[in-house]
């Protein structure tokens, strides 16, 4: 205690209810000066204005034994309470110091019902447990606060917040609610870690870990618990004891793996660990087990031999590119053996057959081997494997992330352009090309050309115009041309709409061909015409058989309307391959040579076509008449006297009777080669075996308008009557 004289100096410094009450409690301490204590409390009471003031003075009156006065002041405090915190603190004091638990409970329950703040609720739970001794209500409050805690980590976070707010006792109470079953070894160690981190109580940590030992049944549990003793308490002896106990339970490869890792990582006993890793290696055959073993060895052992053996064992069991790439990455990460990694990637490459697998593999090789040559080779192989546009764009996206080889970039862009199906994709290739091949506009130009040829709407034309201006701003001729097309398209949009509505009603190939002609004639839009002709061809293909009569209008339209040489050549090759009779050969030759607007192309192609037909005749022991028919077609369609005569000469060499020579002579006569005609008629005459054949020849010559002594004689001898072949 302190005397009045000793406390007087402090009393002169008091200026509020709480300081007077605190000093009064000192005066009331044994041997007490209760009169002086009451004087101080009276002064404190005169300074009361808030609940906390009345509570402080009331606790002072309890200390000097005047509970009636204290009760009156508590009533004042209760009446002055405004918020939950004031009610809780007042209720706690009434129950704790005045001993009126009913009145204190009422205020505490009222405060609890008004509070949602976690920290405050926990404080109130402490008040309930301390002042009311009501564990059920306290636990109810703790449960309310911890309702969202699902794990030890959740409880630890909450306890940390409570501790940081200045309430370590409550924090410990909350965290202990996370205490797991002693059979859940991993959770026990996590809980012990929390005790260590939050409260630094090694005794509590040791007790927690010790309680779990009797429940360990599997090597993994012993290893985990040993880790707890070693890492939290530095108890190596206990860790060794637990691992030795674990050995008695090690039966499988996985259990030997667990123990080996424990010996290596906790005790640094690599010799024991090596033996147990070796046992695991012999027993393991599954992918996940072998990967786990290799990773553990690589992480914990100086000698990585067993890890290498595990990877080799696993490599023999893998068959997909993705699995092998995964293995290569693991080997690279854990062993850093580049030669082994390269060998595994080579095996993966041999099994990669599609673009996606090759692109993925190229990325892995680039990351783990930093081998540009090999990476580019894989991307090049992926380009060849591309089947659809997205295959190609996956390569372009990969190349965009790293400096790309110019030739590879160009090849990849060309493949992407080849696989485009819409103008949006074509323009996308153009944009990518500008970024991947700066300074080289080759693919940009090709893409814009293709887009221009395939425009199907006003929106596409506008997008093309914008792309052209952006990508080839210096190409005035192109931009002017596309700009003019755009202006015409905008001006003719109503007519386009009419054509497009008409297109929706068409069903037959010839209808689409006719509409294509109207589009070119009226709008001069070969792009739209190309789309219509493409639809016509698709409908012809749906028939499943080739008919030159059906394809002939398409061939002429492709050649004359849209002037697409590549497309025309493909159609002509198709027709040529399906020309199985001479009538079909002749019709095709006549169409190409006579009906295409590009006469030079038509003549050149027909010459080559008829030359191919001649080669077929030469190789098939053809008859004179077959050569004669081909010679006649060459003369009529190409006006090529020399070629026609060459073919006729081949037919002459095959001639066997007067009919053969007479027909060839008639052709020579028609072509103005009278000397050749006379020679052939002479051979025809010589071929006659009797008078009947002579009369037949004479009649043929007369019909051909040939006047000769032989003809006159023959006519007289057979009465003007002949026989026709």
Query: At residue 245, does pLDDT exceed 60?
Result: yes
Peptide bond into 226 cis (omega under 30): no
The DSSP call for residue 456 is -
524 φψ region: left (φ > 0), alpha (ψ -120 to 50), beta (else): left
Within 10 Å of residue 218's Cβ, how many Cβ atoms?
A: 17
Residue 5 forms part of a structural domain: no
Three-state DSSP at 724 gives coil
Calculate mean pLDDT across residues 72-95. 93
Q: Give pLDDT, residue 602.
A: 94
d(C-alpha 665, C-alpha 659), whole Å: 10
596-614 pLDDT, tens digit per residue, is 999 999 999 999 999 999 9
Q: Give pLDDT, residue 711.
A: 54
Q: Give pLDDT, residue 317.
A: 85
Calculate mean pLDDT across residues 269-278. 91
Calculate mean pLDDT across residues 629-637. 90
Calculate mean pLDDT across residues 440-457. 91
Q: What burial letters (b/e) apply to 228-247, b meaning 16+ CB within 10 Å?
A: bbbebbebeebbbebbebbe
pLDDT band at residue 669 under the 50/70/90 scheme = confident
Structural contact between residues 426 and 450, judged by C-beta atoms closer than 8 angstroms? yes
Residue 57 forms part of a structural domain: no
Residue 425 forms part of a structural domain: yes
Mean model confidence pLDDT for the chain: 89
Structure token pair of residue 525:
């839009």
Residue owning tokens 């008639």: 666
d(C-alpha 485, C-alpha 47), whole Å: 94
Q: Give pLDDT, residue 394.
A: 94
Residue 522 forms part of a structural domain: no
Structural contact between residues 563 and 552, judged by C-beta atoms closer than 8 angstroms? no
Structural contact between residues 239 and 263, judged by C-beta atoms closer than 8 angstroms? no
pLDDT band at residue 720 under the 50/70/90 scheme = very low
Higher pLDDT pick, 537 / 116: 537
Structure token pair of residue 433:
């090309």
Structural contact between residues 404 and 397, judged by C-beta atoms closer than 8 angstroms? no
Q: For residue 464, give its domain range.
A: 386-491
Q: Give pLDDT, residue 708.
A: 58
Residue owning tokens 């706690």: 92
Query: At residue 722, does pLDDT exceed 50?
Result: no
What are the respective helix, strand and coil percentages of the chain, to the nearest 5?
80, 0, 20
d(C-alpha 105, C-alpha 283), whole Å: 66
Q: Give pLDDT, residue 718.
A: 45
Give the rounded percent of residues in the chain with a pLDDT score beyond 70. Answer: 97
* Number of structural domains found in the chain: 1
Distance of CA 633 to the CA centre of its chain: 59
Structural contact between residues 437 and 413, judged by C-beta atoms closer than 8 angstroms? yes
Note the helical H segments in 420-472. 423-436, 442-453, 458-471
92-105 pLDDT, tens digit per residue, is 999 999 999 999 99
pLDDT band at residue 136 under the 50/70/90 scheme = confident
d(C-alpha 106, C-alpha 91), whole Å: 7
CA nearest 668: which of 656, 657, 684? 684
300-350 pLDDT, tens digit per residue, is 888 889 988 888 888 888 889 998 899 889 888 888 889 998 988 898 888
Query: At residue 671, does pLDDT exceed 90?
Result: no
CA nearest 363: which of 398, 403, 393, 324? 398
The DSSP call for residue 94 is I
Calculate mean pLDDT across residues 280-285. 89
Residue 432 forms part of a structural domain: yes
Structural contact between residues 25 and 53, judged by C-beta atoms closer than 8 angstroms? no
Mention every residue, 6+ apart, whose C-beta is less than 8 A from residue 715: 695, 698, 699, 702
Q: Give pLDDT, residue 723.
A: 33
Structure token pair of residue 669:
């006569």
Q: Give pLDDT, residue 713.
A: 46
Note the helical H segments in 547-690. 548-557, 565-577, 582-595, 599-619, 624-638, 641-654, 658-670, 674-687
Query: At residue 145, does pLDDT exceed 70?
Result: yes
Q: φ, ψ for residue 439 (rounded to 5)?
A: 85, -10
Between the alpha carbon of residue 137 and those of residues 93, 108, 109, 265, the distances in Å are 17, 11, 10, 47
Query: At residue 678, does pLDDT exceed 80?
Result: yes
460-484 pLDDT, tens digit per residue, is 999 999 999 999 999 999 999 999 9
Within 10 Å of residue 201's Cβ, how many Cβ atoms?
A: 13
Residue 443 forms part of a structural domain: yes
pLDDT band at residue 392 under the 50/70/90 scheme = very high
Calculate mean pLDDT across residues 42-63. 93
Within 10 Å of residue 483's Cβ, how many Cβ atoms?
A: 14
Residue owning tokens 């674990």: 246
Structure token pair of residue 67:
């509970």
Residue 9 forms part of a structural domain: no
* Helix/strand number for the chain, H first, E second: 42, 0
| Longest distance between any two alpha carbons in the chain, whole Å | 180
Peptide bond into 31 cis (omega under 30): yes
CA nearest 629: which of 617, 642, 615? 617
Residue 144 forms part of a structural domain: no
Calculate mean pLDDT across residues 379-390. 94
d(C-alpha 1, C-alpha 32), whole Å: 7
Q: Give pLDDT, residue 51.
A: 94
148-176 pLDDT, tens digit per residue, is 788 999 989 988 988 887 878 878 888 88
Calculate mean pLDDT across residues 137-158. 83
Structure token pair of residue 450:
């293709």
Query: At residue 419, does pLDDT exceed 70?
Result: yes
Cα dihedral: 527, 531, 533, 536 (round 10): -170
97-135 pLDDT, tens digit per residue, is 999 999 999 999 899 888 877 778 877 887 888 888 888
Query: At residue 3, does pLDDT exceed 80?
Result: no
Q: What burial letters (b/e) apply to 302-320, b meaning 16+ CB within 10 Å?
A: eebebbbbbbebbbeebee
């Amino acid at each position: 205690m302190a005397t009045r004289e000793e406390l007087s100096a402090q009393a002169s410094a008091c200026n509020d209810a709480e300081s007077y009450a605190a000093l009064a409690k000192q005066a009331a301490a044994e041997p007490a000066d209760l009169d002086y204590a009451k004087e101080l409390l009276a002064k404190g009471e005169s300074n009361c204005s808030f609940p906390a003031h009345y509570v402080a003075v009331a606790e002072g009156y309890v200390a000097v034994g005047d509970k009636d006065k204290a009760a009156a002041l508590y009533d004042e405090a209760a009446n002055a309470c405004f918020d939950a915190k004031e009610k809780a603190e007042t209720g706690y004091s009434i129950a704790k110091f005045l001993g009126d638990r009913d009145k204190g409970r009422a205020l505490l329950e009222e405060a609890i019902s008004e509070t949602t703040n976690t920290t405050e609720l926990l404080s109130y739970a402490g008040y309930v447990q301390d002042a009311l001794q009501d564990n059920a209500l306290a636990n109810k409050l703790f449960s309310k606060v911890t309702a969202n805690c699902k794990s030890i980590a959740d409880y630890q976070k909450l306890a940390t917040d409570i501790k940081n707010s200045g309430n370590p006792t409550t924090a410990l109470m909350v965290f202990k609610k996370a205490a797991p079953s002693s059979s859940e070894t991993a959770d026990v160690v996590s809980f012990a870690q929390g005790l260590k981190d939050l409260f630094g109580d090694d005794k509590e940590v040791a007790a927690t870990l010790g309680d779990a030992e009797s429940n360990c049944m599997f090597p993994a549990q012993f290893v985990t618990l040993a880790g707890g003793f070693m890492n939290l308490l530095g108890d190596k002896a206990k860790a060794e004891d637990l691992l030795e106990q674990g050995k008695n339970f090690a039966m499988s490869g996985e259990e030997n793996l667990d123990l080996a890792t424990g010996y290596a990582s906790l005790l640094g006993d690599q010799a024991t660990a090596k033996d147990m890793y070796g046992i695991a290696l012999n027993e393991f055959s599954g992918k996940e087990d072998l990967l786990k073993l290799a990773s553990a060895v690589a992480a914990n052992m100086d000698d990585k031999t067993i890890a290498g053996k595990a990877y080799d064992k696993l490599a023999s069991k893998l068959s997909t590119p993705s699995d092998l790439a995964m293995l290569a990455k693991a080997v690279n990460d854990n062993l850093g053996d580049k030669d082994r990694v390269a060998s595994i990637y080579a095996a993966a490459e041999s099994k990669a057959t599609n673009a996606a697998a090759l692109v993925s593999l190229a990325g892995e090789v680039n990351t783990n081997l930093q081998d540009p040559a090999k990476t580019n080779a894989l991307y090049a192989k992926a380009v060849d494997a591309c089947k659809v546009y997205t295959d190609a764009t996956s390569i372009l996206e990969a190349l965009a992330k790293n400096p790309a080889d110019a030739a590879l970039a160009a090849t990849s862009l060309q493949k992407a352009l080849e696989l485009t199906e819409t103008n949006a994709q074509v323009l996308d290739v153009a944009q990518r090309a500008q970024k991947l091949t700066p300074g080289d506009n080759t693919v940009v130009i090709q893409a814009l050309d293709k887009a221009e040829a395939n425009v199907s709407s006003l929106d596409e034309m506008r997008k093309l115009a914008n792309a052209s201006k952006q990508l080839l701003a210096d190409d005035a001729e192109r931009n002017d041309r596309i700009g003019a097309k755009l202006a015409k398209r905008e001006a003719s949009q109503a007519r386009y709409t009419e054509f497009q509505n008409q297109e929706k009603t068409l069903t037959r190939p010839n209808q689409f061909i006719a509409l294509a002609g109207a589009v070119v004639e009226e709008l001069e839009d070969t792009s739209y015409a190309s789309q219509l002709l493409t639809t016509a061809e698709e409908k012809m293909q749906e028939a499943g058989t080739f008919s030159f009569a059906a394809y002939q209008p398409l061939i002429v339209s492709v050649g004359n309307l849209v002037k697409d040489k590549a497309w025309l050549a493909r159609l002509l090759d198709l027709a040529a391959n399906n020309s199985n009779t001479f009538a079909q050969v002749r019709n095709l030759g006549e169409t190409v040579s006579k009906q295409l607007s590009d006469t030079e192309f038509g003549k050149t192609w027909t010459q080559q076509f008829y030359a191919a037909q001649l080669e077929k005749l030469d190789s098939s022991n053809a008859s004179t008449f077959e050569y004669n028919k081909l010679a006649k077609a060459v003369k009529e369609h190409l006006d090529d006297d020399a070629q026609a005569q060459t073919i006729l000469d081949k037919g002459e060499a095959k001639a066997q009777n007067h009919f053969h020579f007479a027909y060839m002579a008639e052709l020579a006569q028609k072509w103005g080669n009278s000397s050749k005609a006379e020679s052939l008629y002479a051979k025809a005459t010589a071929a006659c075996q009797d008078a009947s054949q002579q009369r037949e020849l004479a009649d043929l010559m007369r019909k051909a308008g040939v006047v000769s002594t032989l003809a006159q004689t023959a006519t007289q001898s057979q009465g003007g009557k002949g026989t026709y072949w």
